[in-house]
């Protein structure tokens, strides 16, 4: 069965520092991969997604993610974090054979930003 693991439950970074959030998936073929952000009191917003092609994808708000098949990973990065980036981040996978595109989510990583 497909699964998604986000090893870090909570991460704290200083404003202006770089950020990397880890995501590992389990699936036999190339999955469709997504990163969503959930800010307090708001719904989930898509940051970026990967289906095929260039393994480095750019998203909104200055985020990027890199798909590494050999490591079954899809880590999210940002070169310089802003205080407004404090939120919960979810990695998710949908599969080609998964009829209807239902998403399987990781448990989330909560990001705190120090001034």
Taking alpha carbons only, the member of 42, 50, 52, 33 closest to residue 90 is: 33
Which range binds other proteins by CB under 8 A, 20-28, 53-61, 70-78, 92-100? 92-100
| Cα-to-chain-centroid distance, residue 31 | 14
Which of 28, 40, 53, 100 binds other proteins (CB under 8 A)? It is 100
Which of 23, 57, 95, 113 binds other proteins (CB under 8 A)? It is 95
46 lies in the binding site for other proteins (CB under 8 A): yes
Burial of 21 (0-12, 13-18, 19+ CB in 10 A): buried
Longest dimension (CA), the chain: 44
Which of 23, 65, 87, 104 binds other proteins (CB under 8 A)? It is 104
Residue 49: beta bridge partners? 34
99 lies in the binding site for other proteins (CB under 8 A): yes
32 lies in the binding site for other proteins (CB under 8 A): yes
Q: Between 28 and 115, whose beta carbon lies closer to other proteins?
A: 28
């Amino acid at each position: 069965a497909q699964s998604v693991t986000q090893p870090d439950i909570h991460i704290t970074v200083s404003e202006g520092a770089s950020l990397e959030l880890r995501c590992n998936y389990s699936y036999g073929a190339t999955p469709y991969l997504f990163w969503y952000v959930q800010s307090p009191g708001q719904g989930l917003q898509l940051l970026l997604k990967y289906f095929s092609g260039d393994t480095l994808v750019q998203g909104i708000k200055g985020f990027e993610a890199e798909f590494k098949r050999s490591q079954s990973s899809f880590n999210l990065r940002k070169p310089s974090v802003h205080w407004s980036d404090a939120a919960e981040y979810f990695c998710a996978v949908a599969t080609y054979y998964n009829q209807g595109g239902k998403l399987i989510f990781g448990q989330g990583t909560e990001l705190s930003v120090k001034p």
